[in-house]
Structure 1
Amino acid sequence: MGIKSGLTSAAVLAISSGTSFAQSSVTLYGVTDVGIEYLSNAPSANGGKNLVRMSSGNLSTSRWGILGAEDLGGGLKAIFQLESGIAVDSGSNNGGSRLFDRAALVGLSSQKYGTLRLGRQTTPMYDLSALLDPMAISVRYSLYSSDPIVTGRADNAVKYNISFGGLTAAALYSFGRTGAGEVPGDFRIDRNIGGSLYYQTGALSAGLVYDEFQGSTIATQDKKDRRLLLGGTYEFGSMKAFAGYRWLNGSANGNVRSNLYFTGLRYAATGALSLTGAAYYTDTRQSNADPLMLVASADYAFSKRTDAYLTLGYVRNKGGSQLGLNGFNATSGSPTSVWPGSNQTGAVLGIRHKF
């Protein structure tokens, strides 16, 4: 949801130069999402302890942003986006030293020729995962918990999207996804490439995406993490079924090979109430460390902008795995994982407003 300022370039430029050009618009938008979370077996200095806390960004990351577009004629538009994450519980900036940690880009858009964006932006892996994950890669208890790279963003990135009827294709190239690249003579350092295909017809949709990035130092530039994700959805009546698979072969951040399977069902119980159930199973290759995460969520919309939700989660760890409802392998004192060797139960009750 957004509130358009209704600015024309004539008004904008009248402030700076008194000259008018083609029509343009600027949109201020955002999400505030905060709730109370309970976690069992959260890591502490002396073992796993129960934790109750206020958590910001549960179904959606709390954020604000600015979108802009200028009509250049002939169906061509100039576009820009600036977006910053917010920790609503404390009022701080999620991005640390970054003001616009979520997006900072400019580009050109054409209905006929597609859209080209340059700057910090989401990867095709992120864009497709949000469509195929039953929990829409929500911050709390979703596909993101099992593999945070599915919500990847890349610095120094060029991304191109184009649609042909029901088919949408995307490609991305980053010269340094974390900002560590762009080194003279070593173009592979921190390089990120990706591409996706997504097809939708009637009740059925299916997608395939590939993501690859190199190590972020001279010593690790020949190492890479490669991911392939595919999945689909099918709507029948008031229900929508989800199923997907993610393959990982990685060496850039340690040697990791795994298969991740996920499935779920979303049910529109009424015009306001939506129910979702999902399961995520990680098969770690050459290991018995294979955790299972189960999630159930209820979302009630008071209006188009405001909703309340309750999300419940359970993780069963196996063979030494350390998956928490909010991620893998956190250090002692961090609530984002689970105490080693333990299972975890969690719940988050919150409210979200979009503007």
Structure 2
Amino acid sequence: MKKHYVAALLALAAPIAGAQTSVTLYGVADIGFEFLNHANANGNTLTRMNSGNVSGSRWGLRGAEGLGGTLKAIFALENGFDLDTGVMSQGGRLFGRQAFVGLEDQWGRITLGRQQSALYDLLINYEPMVLAARYSALGMDPALVGRYDNTAKYTGKFGPVTAIAFYSFARGSTITSATGSAIAGETPGDVKSDRAMGGGLEYASGPFGATLIYDQQQGTRGITGQNSDQTDRRIAAAANFSFGNSTILAGYRWFNGDIGGSRRNDLYWLGYRYNATPALTLTGAGYYFNNRRNGQDPWELVASANYALSKRTDAFLTVGYVRNKDNSNLGLNGFGSTITPGASQLGASMSIRHKF
């Protein structure tokens, strides 16, 4: 009897004894120099040091604990910062890039907290400049790297298919009042205020990959000119195909919304990536923004060379050109940023990036 009792205790304890806990510290340090012409209303040039030219500088902690069988608890805390000043990014949030905890097994993961949207998770593999902070599609639509507060999210991977669905109870808009700024939260009696939802599917197998994504945001009660019945909707579709040392990438983003005013526009991109050597990667991309409400339809060309100095450290040289139309104000760093309205802009950046 005693032997059977001891055996039963050992059997119950086995999942606990076999459970493993891991915590990883990781990060990216990215900094460089940038030159721009037509960088203000007077048409002056600008030379500056920038953090996060290619990848946003960050540090983070992620971990997992086995709970028995295939089930495990997971978490991530990720801080974004400017390397040139040491100031926190994402509006000064301590963990503005990600902050979540959840459970994961063979059927996928469910996570709760501040998290990336499906646009961010899935489009990054199909945007030629990898949604870089500068000189990419991100400048034409910052929501492509959207993050939402108060978010419940499901992510599942089944062979070549990845599925994502999320719901944000309050996405975290910043409300400015006479007493200062505050982050919007859930509003009693108005479940739609500041809400977001969406999801996407990706198929990636061998040389081919494709994705289809939906994203929706509701207006925020408390922000002047907004209400919760206002809606911004985005649909994105993209694909890539690799052959030899080359990859072709193409994508389209549809937008229709009335948060902050009625808008309707399309964003297209096409890119080519060539692995010239094991260390050198060359990328070229073109972007076109079609404004359906007026004739302000700018386009942008970008070329980049990435040289891997080691597995963790690489250097970048990126050159970009923007052509504006009908007084549009797209710059290489986004709409309304460092650009003379209606003028073209030429820019170049040199960066070094270290991953740890």
Cα distance between partner residues in 2 of 1:82 and 1:71: 19
Correspondence for 2:199: 195
Correspondence for 2:178: none
Taking every aligned residue pair, what percent have the same amino acid on both sides?
52
Cα distance between partner residues in 2 of 1:227 and 1:253: 15
1:93 positional shift: 1.3
- Give unmatched runs, 5+ long, in structure 2: 1-15, 173-182
1:320 positional shift: 1.9
Amino acid at match of 1:151: V
Stretches of 4+ moved more than 4 A in 1? none
The one of 218, 231, 236 equivalent to 1:229 is 236
1:43 aligned counterpart, secondary structure: coil
1:20 positional shift: 8.4
Correspondence for 2:221: 217
Correspondence for 2:159: 165
Q: Deviations over 1:39-67 (max 9, x none)?
A: 111125xx121000000001100000000
- Give unmatched runs, 5+ long, in structure 1: 1-18, 330-335
Correspondence for 1:42: 39
Cα distance between partner residues in 2 of 1:229 and 1:200: 16
The one of 146, 151, 155 equivalent to 2:145 is 151
1:41 aligned counterpart, secondary structure: coil
Cα distance between partner residues in 2 of 1:164 and 1:71: 21
Cα RMSD, aligned residues only: 1.4
1:298 aligns with 2:311: no
1:275 aligns with 2:294: no
1:284 positional shift: 0.4
Q: Deviations over 1:237-267 (max 9, x none)?
A: 0000001100000111321100111010010
Cα distance between partner residues in 2 of 1:23 and 1:200: 30
Cα distance between partner residues in 2 of 1:22 and 1:237: 43
Cα distance between partner residues in 1 of 2:284 and 2:90: 31
Correspondence for 1:6: none
**8 A Cα contact 1:322 1:337, kept in partner:** no
For residues 1-355 of structure 1, the aligned pairs below 5 Å read 22-43=19-40, 47-110=42-105, 112-178=106-172, 179-217=183-221, 219-329=226-336, 336-355=337-356
1:210 positional shift: 0.4
Cα distance between partner residues in 1 of 2:28 and 2:238: 28
1:96 positional shift: 4.0
Cα distance between partner residues in 2 of 1:227 and 1:250: 8
1:350 positional shift: 1.1
Cα distance between partner residues in 2 of 1:23 and 1:324: 49
Q: Deviations over 1:187-220 (max 9, x none)?
A: 1000000110000121110100000000012651
**8 A Cα contact 1:135 1:276, kept in partner:** yes
**TM-score, scaled relative to structure 2:** 0.90
1:131 positional shift: 1.2
1:216 aligned counterpart, secondary structure: coil
Number of positions where the alignment pairs a residue of Structure 1 with one of Structure 2: 328
In structure 2, the CA distance between the partners of 1:311 and 1:174, relative to structure 1 (3 Å rule), is same
1:286 positional shift: 3.2
Cα distance between partner residues in 1 of 2:260 and 2:214: 18
**8 A Cα contact 1:181 1:191, kept in partner:** no
1:21 positional shift: 8.6
**8 A Cα contact 2:263 2:293, kept in partner:** no
**TM-score, scaled relative to structure 1:** 0.90
Amino acid at match of 1:345: L
**8 A Cα contact 1:288 1:320, kept in partner:** no
Q: Deviations over 1:73-132 (max 9, x none)?
A: 11011001001111111112113441111111001111x210111000100011112111
Cα distance between partner residues in 2 of 1:250 and 1:167: 30
Amino acid at match of 2:46: L
Bigger shift: residues 127-136 or 233-242:
127-136
Bigger radius of gyration, 1 or 2? 2
Cα distance between partner residues in 2 of 1:181 and 1:224: 17
1:290 aligned counterpart, secondary structure: coil
